[in-house]
């Protein structure tokens, strides 16, 4: 009970100061922390995250930790199972010299990362929004409901192919031959 504490709502400054008492931030799951993950890294506290179902469908919030940590070249802090989550946290906790080093390095790692490149992020968002507007026009300008459904289905197929998703069909059964 002396290693785990719960703190209630506080000012943002008090909240950031609270990270001085934290050695490792254990990201929540199935929904990851997002901004709290970034706050932790900003304050020099390593984050252990759990990205559920890496190859399947998921909520966006289930992969925030993975996305952030991969961008910072710390994908080794992302677990694929609850057992691995505990193992990663234990490994980080065991190396107190490295924990001290993280305090001094993580903020600069964050500042040097693509996560802090506002111009690139703005350009990416602008491009994505422009693409969505064009695609929406294709659907909304269709003359009838059937054409709109076809345009939507075409768009979803394009997205699936761009993501490299494939349809897994069951293997065909051997025909039963009777003589």
Per residue of the chain (179 residues), give pLDDT as tens. Answer: 466 667 778 899 998 998 898 899 988 887 778 888 999 999 999 999 988 765 555 566 677 888 899 999 999 999 988 899 999 999 999 999 999 999 999 999 999 998 888 898 899 889 888 888 887 887 788 888 888 888 888 887 887 777 776 666 666 666 666 65
Q: Yes or no: say if 158 and 135 are a contact pair by the CB < 8 Å rule.
A: no
Q: Identify the pLDDT of residue 44.
A: 94
What stretches of the chain show up as alpha helix (H) in DSSP? 12-18, 35-42, 64-71, 82-94, 96-112, 118-140, 145-162
Residue 64 near residue 70 (C-beta atoms within 8 A)? no
CA distance 123 to 128: 9
């Amino acid at each position: 009970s002396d290693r785990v504490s719960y703190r209630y709502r506080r000012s943002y400054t008090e909240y950031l100061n609270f990270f001085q008492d934290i050695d490792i931030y254990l990201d929540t799951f199935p929904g990851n922390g997002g901004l709290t993950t970034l706050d932790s890294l900003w304050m020099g506290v390593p984050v252990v995250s759990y990205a559920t179902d890496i190859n399947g469908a998921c909520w966006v919030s289930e992969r925030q930790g993975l996305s952030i940590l991969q961008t910072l070249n710390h994908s080794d802090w992302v677990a694929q199972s609850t057992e691995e989550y505990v193992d990663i946290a234990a490994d980080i906790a065991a190396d107190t010299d490295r924990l001290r080093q993280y305090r001094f390095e993580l903020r600069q790692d964050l500042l040097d990362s693509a996560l802090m490149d506002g111009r690139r992020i703005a350009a990416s968002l602008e491009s994505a929004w422009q693409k969505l507007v064009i695609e929406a026009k294709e659907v909304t300008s269709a003359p009838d409901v059937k054409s709109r459904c076809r345009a939507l289905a075409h768009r979803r197929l394009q997205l699936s192919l761009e993501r490299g998703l494939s349809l897994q069909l069951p293997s065909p059964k051997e025909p039963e031959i009777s003589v």
